[in-house]
Structure 1
Amino acid sequence: MEKPSSKAALAAAVAGVMVAACGGHSESTPAAPDITLLSSKADYVAGDSVLVDIAAPAGGAIPGQLKVLANDANVSAAFAPDPAHAGHFVGLVAGLKPGTNVISADVGGRAATTHVTNYGNGPMLSGPRTTPFNCQTQDFVLPDGSRLGPPTDANCSAPTVVQYLYLPVGGNTLKVLPDTKALPADVATTTTTSGATLPFVVRIETGTMNRGIYQNAVLFNPAKDAAPSALTPPPGWNKGLIAVHGTGCATGWYIQGAAMGVSPYTATNLKRLGEGYAVFTNTLNHPTNSCNAHLAGETTLMGKQHFIKTFGVPAFTVSVGTSGGSYTSLQIADAFPGLFDGVFIDATFPDALAISMSAMDDKLLNHYLTVINGSGVSEQQMVAVSGHKSARAWYDLAVQSGRTDPVSGRTETIPTTGSFGGGYAAGAFNAAVPLPQRWDATTNPGGARATVFDVGRNVYGVDAQGYGLRPFDNVGVQYGLAQLSDGTLTVDQFLDLNEKIGGYDRNGNYIAARSTGSVDAIKRAYQVGMQLGANGGLAAIPIFDLSNFYDEDNYYHYQWFHFAMRERLRIANGDTKNHVMWRGGVSFADLFGIATPGRAERAAVNAKAQADAWALFVQWVKAYKADPGTVPQRDKVVAAKPAAVVDGCFTLSTTPRFIAETQTPAATGAAGTCNAIWPTWTYPRAQAGESIAADKLKCELKPVSTGDYKVAFSAAQSARLQAIFPSGVCDWSKSGVNQVPVVPYPSVGPSPVNLVFDITTQ
């Protein structure tokens, strides 16, 4: 199938999103029934079943006139009239076979047919199953404290379990419901956003899907409510659906996950459940279990399908995430347009690669300073070259390069004293991965490698030895260019740094030459959305971005990552009108219980930002979803934006005041009041000339010309500069090498639709 490769094609793909934000397909003829899939797109059916809506031809029909076949089997009994839509019949068509299935509907001799492709329990888009893979159903704790149980097959399956919990009067945590036929006397009540007042009882379903463990949660009274279905949704559900994502990345490989990253029924989600929202998640949506955003997208697609088949079509679906959950939300929204109707994020990163790539640069700078340093560069000078606020900030991001280093136990010279994030962890595995499975260059060269590149091998491809190809490339990068210009570095220091900075080999070892990234892996990183392009589904949904953490000195959750995401959105779509940013939050010292000035004020900022932003975000999503017009969705989103949804920050006070001001990345107050309170620093390649977007995995090169510099070079220095960059230096004014748009619903197998790569043919 021809792959979309232009903004027009992408816009068409976004405009043709699935019915009910999940999918739709119709091959009806005039005066025939109209068949619409409610739970999925026709090309991506999971779970051997699909929820179908059949609209009778003009004049209507009675149930006895409707005949529905699935692969020639009569499934008419599964359909019932939809009380909310006259002339429509809804039914769950189950028992689909793997691959292509034919569903037909006949009313009085007038017939329509549609084809669907079923992938069962997956995979459908994420490529061959990663091996090894360690099941953990036996360790997963259910809401009542019991375990899900041992896996029943090699795909880590386990029986589905439904349990009920309730909130007691005056309590703040759920308790197990002792009897499903009668509610306890101490059950609290809650009033939903729909105005319904009912007992605070939650139905929690746990099962397995796509080799992960899923859960969904929604208000439900088993003593009174009818069994849930698409036509009998829970009375307490307000028709809002929230996808929840976890955090982290390091150690996120080769495991199913023994716990969710964020429970669907604790903390903030308990409040959302009380408001009537439903919540769903999966262990594979927790990057600490699985640091693969493409797999997380496929898993979310399957999870939403299952939810719709169980409870009905939501009015809207939004994604919520912090840190690793922020980039998972963004990447899924972009590569799977229509799956989410908005994203609500904080501690934002554009993608996991943004952390890894910048961390690899930072580690090279640290290695030069502490091991090579032939020009007497000081730590203070190198902090400037790194772009970070302080040495601690620089080192804390450098430490995160451990997720790109497969050599378990390798030590580094990176200082970690005073770091909240811990030390350098190369080749780090979850304890559930047995030692014999783990890679070692000498004793187990065919083992599993603990890197972000190897866990994404289905996208990046592999080399002759089976190791994940690497997109990291620093050819032509002029480290410290800004410092050369402003006099922080001398010409000789600049030359020595760039001559000796070096790169890495495929095993994370330092080498004298610069790193050359795989151009094929780079292209696929863009196509699949492993490198966020922001030109897919993100172009046409509300994005609400909060700081949550504000700490430019510790633990790498820096403000520039927020601005990188925003700048990518601007580059891709011309403006950022569907994006709003609020700044201000707690520090990592607060999280670690360290008493520092301003702690109470930072906590107050966070609480107010989260509460106020959520209400406005939901108002925004509801408003554009209610617009019946035919204009492009992006136009609807911009038009529906509430007046209070504007950029801004909060004063640092126990009674924070919101300051409405366009947010810009600057380290001084000169660029606005918010930057005086919440300043931003950058990263090494910004100091080398790249924009804050950090979106070019490999730069295009231009010839070296001493006329491009603000300082003078001697003849000897000029010759040395030419020798350091024989192929040229980065031309940041151009798009990166193989920097292409994301492909909507990108496949690396087995689906042939929008197939960008098939590792089985490599």
Structure 2
Amino acid sequence: MKSFQLRRHVSGAVLGSLCLIIAGCGGSDSNDESNTPAIAAPTATLLSSRAEYVSGGNALVDINLPAVPAGTAAPALKVVLNDADVSSAFKADPANPGHMIGLVSGLKDGDNNLTATYGGSPAALKLTNYPIVGPMFSGPRITPFICQTATLALPDGTRLQGQPNDPTCSAPTNVQYAYRSSANTFKPLPDPKALPADLATITKASGETVPYIVRVETMTIDRGISQITMLFDPSKDSDPSPTARPRNWNGRLVYGHGTGCVGGWYIQGGAWGYNPLNDTWLSRGYAVASNTLNHPTNSCNAVLSGEAATMTKEYFIERYGVPAFTMTVGTSGGAYSSLQLADAFPGLFDGVFVDATFPDALAIAMSGMDAHLLSNYFLGGSGSAATFTSAQQAAVSGYANPLTLVANGNQMGRTDPVPGRSAPTFPGVGNYAPAVWNAAVPTALRYNPTGASPNFAGARPTVFDASVNIYGKARNPLDPSGASSYALRPYDNVGVQYGLSALNAGAITPTQFLDLNESVGGFDTDANPVPARSVGNAGAMQRAYQAGLMLSGSGGLASLPIMDTTAIYSEDTSNYHMQWEHFAVRERLIQANGNADNQVMWRGGPSTAPISTGNALAISTFEQWMEKIVADKAAGSAIEKVLRNKPAAAVDGCFDPSLKFIAEKQTLGVNDSTCNTLFPSYTMPRYQAGGPLAANVFKCQLKPVSAADYKVTFSGPELARLNAIFPSGTCDWTKPGVGQTRVVTWPSVGPSAANRIFDVTAQQ
């Protein structure tokens, strides 16, 4: 699984044909050299990235030298970058006979041409380079942006930089060493040649016992802070390179993503979401990497996260060589980050191992907005709302009870830019929290439309505005000056019949159904509740699909092994990690690819911790799956190799209280199977309104109101009222959503022109 390898060469046959046509290619009409055996063209392969996405002025290139005919002297390899001879950068690859590998430096920003000649016709690569500070494809830099190189702590307790002094948040690369102590903690190792008495050891798969010492390399990439860790033996290892790898590294890479999303805007990140100094993976011999922009609590923007991961992995390959495979891991927000990046940027990762899964940040935000509308209605004190019992509220919402409904409704706070707003609450649920900010962002830079001195020009703290380069923007209609803008919103509930399933099941009356849908309302651009239903922006919806902000499942995930685990179960509390979100991922895979055979789902298990320390059986099962795929050199597509190499243990199931594994296909439900009795799983408002479990429709297509669609009989006045509530019609869930489309893999919103889906700078 050598991700990012692109084979681009110009064959000698093609050049030879051109020489027959174009005068002056050299040679003569004589046949003096007709008996000289020809040397085939070499093959040039870019190892470190895609050719259109090179960063930092460097590229790791492999040259496969062709066989030299018997009796012919081996020629010299000549490699030219633009007009500069870079042949000296290439050395024999000790792991790959017949190949030369070289880190080519000095690429200019923009297009570069590299040619490799070995006695015959040349091979050629066109490489498009971007600055290491970005951007490549995430669009114009978001502003404001707070540098935090002076905040993030290194293993020895120092900071990456004493004081940020670069507007791009750059800092010098730092290398430190840490060791695992006999007390099972990591400690700084100032001198890797002076080994401490409490140094722990690791026994490798070969049986060799080695010191548990870790090389920690920290650098700034794409305005984020990246860190790479791996085992390092100071008595035997030289400075790492693609041809001199640390001997205790197993050749595999784990890429970690942090949790959360709330507050994930306008900062570089002063803390890791997924700490690369990670015993779970380092003790197994893996290298671990992450970037602070891969922590949604720092940056809740999946396209920017994809760019940061792309550039960080490129740096890793240029420094250490191509890993046998790269596994992406994460919990909660890290789970949806892993899934979204693996899908939108195929080749970046080779396997997905996630816990406490959501499909994407939008699944939380959109279901939260629906739930918040219902919470506001049920707790608003109206006479019609008072007729709903707790059981009826649960039936309408899909959640187990009103407490969980309100808790999930509070998650729309990440879409609300107005500070200090209150909302109806419920005993046992924390207060509604809109406009959550990281303390590093000065108050003067924050959006605030209220108070004596409103600040409409401030940055808006929402999941939509964090990705404004994808959603697009418009003038803020609530700003009296008309000078400020807001990110266009995809949320739409026109035609949504809340409580439809409860009505058809006889759980609520027609009057309650009509009262609810007449009163539920929507939100304006500042998330203020309004009487009218919300109308989403069609362009924003389509681009969210194209960019993978709404997980598709049709990109890289179609051919990767996926292990989905969870130990968070409390469907009847204030928890908002719902099991339906796991099944929404599965449904999207099925919709996109016809099946989800490459996804394995486990519920419960021997650990309540996230996968950073988690389920050892799940880890070993997934490792076995990945290793078998890597070892499979037989013919077949990527998905064929994924499926035929599934270990026997890689089947759906759950764990009972005694930690016995129960092999059972995992389904959404309550008490209808052994696992659903142990782990009952509820739904969400839009599913109870007839929407898909995949939860991937922003805006439904509409159809005329028809009495035949209901299992109850409406009176004439009730039917007239129904038509008045839904003058444009009701949702036709048998059709795709408005603007719904597959992900555009490797999407760009600038500056790259490759796979460009949008240019926010063109908006007025």
Relative to the length of structure 1, the TM-score reads 0.92
1:539 pairs, out of 546, 558, 561, with: 558
CA contact (8 A) 1:546 1:609 kept: no
Q: Distance in 1 between matches of 2:54 and 2:624?
A: 31
Higher helix share goes to which structure? 1
1:693-727: CA deviation from partner (whole Å, max 9, x where unpaired): 11111111111101110000000000000111111
2:442 counterpart of 1:434: yes
Distance 1:378 1:62, change over 3 A: farther
Q: CA offset at residue 760 of structure 1?
A: 1.0
Cross-structure match for 2:491: 472
Q: Is 2:597 aligned against 1:577?
A: yes
Q: How far did residue 110 of structure 1 move?
A: 3.3
Q: 1:65 aligns with which of 66, 76, 79?
A: 76
Matched, 1:147 2:167: no
Correspondence for 2:373:
364
Give 1:184 deviation, angstroms. Answer: 2.9
Aligned counterpart in structure 2 of residue 137 of structure 1, from 149, 172, 175? 149
- Counterparts of 1:385-404 in structure 2, within 5 Å, are 385-404=396-415
- Counterpart amino acid of 2:422? T
Match of 1:137, SS state, is: coil
- In the alignment, the residues of structure 2 paired with residue 211 and residue 50 of structure 1 have an alpha-carbon distance, to the nearest angstrom, of 20
Partner of 1:737: 738
User: What per-residue deviation string (whole Å, max 9, x for no partner) do you get for residues 371-407 of structure 1?
Assistant: 2634232343222211001222111111111000010
CA separation of 1:727/1:272 partners in 2, compared to 1, >3 Å: closer, same or farther? same
- Provide, for residues 326-369 of structure 1, a one-character-per-residue CA deviation record: whole Å limited to 9, x for no partner: 00000000000111111110100000000000000011001111
Question: 1:316-715 maps to which residues of 2 (within 5 A)?
Answer: 316-371=325-380, 373-375=382-384, 376-415=387-426, 417-419=427-429, 422-441=430-449, 443-465=454-476, 466-552=485-571, 553-584=573-604, 603=608, 610-653=615-658, 656-667=659-670, 669=671, 671-715=672-716
**Secondary structure of the structure 2 residue equivalent to 1:625:** helix
Residue by residue over 1:157-192, the C-alpha shift from the partner in whole angstroms, topping out at 9 and shown as x without a partner, is 011100001123x22111111323343343222123
Verify the 8 A CA contact 1:191 1:275 in the aligned structure 2.
no
CA distance in structure 2 between the aligned counterparts of 1:564 and 1:463, rounded to whole angstroms: 31
Alignment length, in residue pairs?
A: 718
Asked if structure 1 preserves the Cα contact closer than 8 Å seen for 2:137 and 2:752, the reply is yes
The Cα shift of 1:194 comes to 5.4
Letter in 1 for 2:11: T
Which stretch shifts more, 144-153 or 322-331?
Answer: 144-153
Aligned to 2:106: 95
Asked if the contact 1:481/1:689 (under 8 Å) is kept, the reply is yes
Aligned partner (choices 289, 305, 311) of residue 302 of structure 1: 311
The answer to whether the aligner puts 1:755 opposite 2:756 as a matched pair is: yes
Cα distance, 1:29 vs structure 2 = 1.0
- Secondary structure of the residue aligned to 2:680 is coil
| Aligned partners of 1:369 and 1:379 also within 8 Å | no
Alignment deviations for residues 584-629 of structure 1 (CA, whole Å, 9 cap, x no partner)? 16xxxxxxxxxxxxxxx87499999711111111111111222223
The match for 1:80 among 72, 86, 91 is: 91
> In the superposition, relative to structure 1, how do residues 231 and 604 fare at CA in structure 2: closer, same or farther (>3 Å)?
closer
Q: Distance in 1 between matches of 2:171 and 2:609?
A: 43
Check the 8 A contact 1:25/1:42 in 2, yes or no: no
Instruction: Give the distance between the partners of 2:548 and 2:206, measured in 1 at CA.
Output: 36
Which string of whole-angstrom CA distances, capped at 9 and with x for unpartnered residues, describes residues 648-667 of structure 1? 001113xx100000011002
Give 3-state SS (helix, strand or coil) of 2:435's partner: coil
The answer to whether the 8 A contact 1:182-1:223 is kept is: no
SS state of the match for residue 378, structure 2?
A: helix
2:2 to 10, 20, 25: 20
CA contact (8 A) 1:648 1:662 kept: yes
- Give the TM-score normalised by the residue count of structure 2: 0.92
Contact 1:25-1:41 within 8 A present in 2 as well? no
User: Aligned Cα RMSD in Å?
Assistant: 1.8
Secondary structure in structure 1 of the residue aligned to 2:460? coil
Assess if the C-alpha contact under 8 Å between 1:665 and 1:680 holds in 2.
yes
- The answer (yes or no) to whether the contact 1:167–1:174 under 8 Å persists in 2 is yes
What residue number does 1:250 align with?
262
Q: Does 2:127 match 1:126? A: no
Tell me if the contact between 1:582 and 1:609 (Cα under 8 Å) persists in the aligned partners: no
Q: 2:216 matched to which residue of 1?
A: 204
Deviations, residues 631-681 of structure 1 (Å, cap 9, x unaligned)? 22111111111111110001113xx100000011002x2x21111111100
**Residue type matched to 1:227 in 2?**
D
Q: Name the amino acid aligned to 1:701.
A: L
Structure number with greater Rg is 2
**Distance of 1:236 and 1:151 partners within structure 2:** 35
Counterpart CA distance in 2 for 1:373 and 1:62 is: 92
Which of 228, 232, 242 pairs up with 2:244? 232
Q: C-alpha offsets along residues 266-313 of structure 1, whole Å, 9 cap, x if unaligned?
A: xxx213102110000011010001011111111111111111111111
User: Deviation of residue 109 (structure 1)?
Assistant: 4.9
How far apart in 2 are the matches of 1:562 and 1:75? 50
1:84-130 Cα distance to aligned partner (Å, 9 max, x none): 22221101011211000111112225322211000122111100000
Identity over aligned pairs, percent: 54
By how many angstroms is 1:55 displaced?
1.2
8 A Cα contact 1:261 1:286, kept in partner: yes
Contact 1:32–1:112 (CA under 8 A) maintained in structure 2:
yes
Q: Which moved more, 1:517-526 or 1:366-375?
A: 366-375
Say if 2:355 and 2:610, in contact at 8 Å, map to a contact too. Answer: no
SS in 2 for 1:429: coil
Counterpart contact for 2:280–2:612, Cα < 8 Å: no
Q: Which residue of 1 aligns with 2:24?
A: none
The answer to which of 256-265 and 545-554 deviates more is 545-554
CA contact 1:383–1:390 (8 Å) conserved in 2: yes
**Is residue 156 from structure 1 mapped to residue 164 from structure 2 by the alignment?**
no
Structure 1 counterpart SS, 2:54: coil
